[in-house]
Amino acid sequence: MADWAPIAKEYDPLKAGSIDGTDEEPHDRAIWRAMLARYVPNKGVTGDPHLTLFVARLNLQTTEEKLKEVFSRYGDIRKIRLVRDLVTGFSKGYAFVEYKEERALLKAHRDANRLVIDQHEIFVDFELERTLKGWIPRRLGGGFGGKKESGQLRFGGRDRPFRKPINLPNMKNDLYGEGSSEKRNWSREGTRDWRTRDRDHERSRDKRWPERDRSWAWGDSDRERDSKEERSRGRERKDRDRKDRDQDRSRDRDTKKQRDEDKHR
């Protein structure tokens, strides 16, 4: 692991499909496809690859004029190539920008990444097709792009660098029969003691269960008794109140009747 780096120095589909670059077996079909692919970079592409930037995630409506307007801020541009579909002529959403000087290239690589052009956040990186040995494009299962939803996440590039692998030391565990015989005997005796202790604890708990059940039952009966008494008291109160109301009404009736009789006399 001495030569490990977060950015890939040489493209290996197996390592690019790994989160830390240490996988030994492919975990999806795209990696198999990339490992079996024999890709030769397009010889028709001209220009200096070491002065060329790869610009991706473009708005499909973005034109060469718009790209020239944005990227000319960082230095003099030699050529812009917006990749288009051969049949329809529509943009494929990525382009290559070649500068005249390395200083302008480095400045654009540093500042233009995640810039918003036509409501799209773009991705900028160095050209890898002709500069990274063993490069396989994404359409053949390689590349460093892709999303989690597509199941083709690739690591080792600027956008998704490798995570540092965790190297755990090989530690012997005495409880699984490793180490000296004295330690093994001690561990076995210890486990036996724990078992007997657990068994005793279970027995004592079983003995305590009936007492708890009884106490809970008594508690329930007391509660029921109290609730019954409260209910009966409430009924008595209601009966008393009803009788008092009836007596008051009868008294009112008698007084009213008496008054009417007195008037007629």
**pLDDT tens, the chain, 265 aa long:** 567 889 999 999 999 999 988 888 998 888 999 999 989 888 888 899 999 999 999 999 999 999 999 999 999 999 999 999 999 999 999 999 999 999 999 999 999 999 999 999 999 999 999 999 999 998 899 999 766 676 778 899 998 999 988 764 454 444 334 444 444 443 444 444 445 555 555 566 555 555 555 544 444 455 666 666 777 777 788 788 887 888 777 777 777 777 777 666 6
pLDDT in tens, 87-136: 999 999 999 999 999 999 999 999 999 999 999 999 999 999 999 999 99
Name the burial class of residue 39, with classes exposed (0-12), middle (13-18) and buried (19+) by CB atoms within 10 angstroms of its CB. Answer: middle
In angstroms, rounded to a whole number, what is the distance separating the alpha carbons of residues 213 and 128?
A: 76
Q: What is the pLDDT of residue 250?
A: 76
Write down the pLDDT at residue 69: 96
Closest listed residue to residue 76, CA positions, set 54, 96, 100, 97: 100
Tokens describing residue 193: 């003691």
pTM confidence score: 0.60
CB atoms within 10 A of CB 222: 10
Give the pLDDT of residue 1: 57
Cα separation, 120 vs 61, in Å, equals: 10
Cβ neighbours, 10 Å, residue 146? 17
Give the separation between CA 116 and CA 176, rounded to whole angstroms.
58
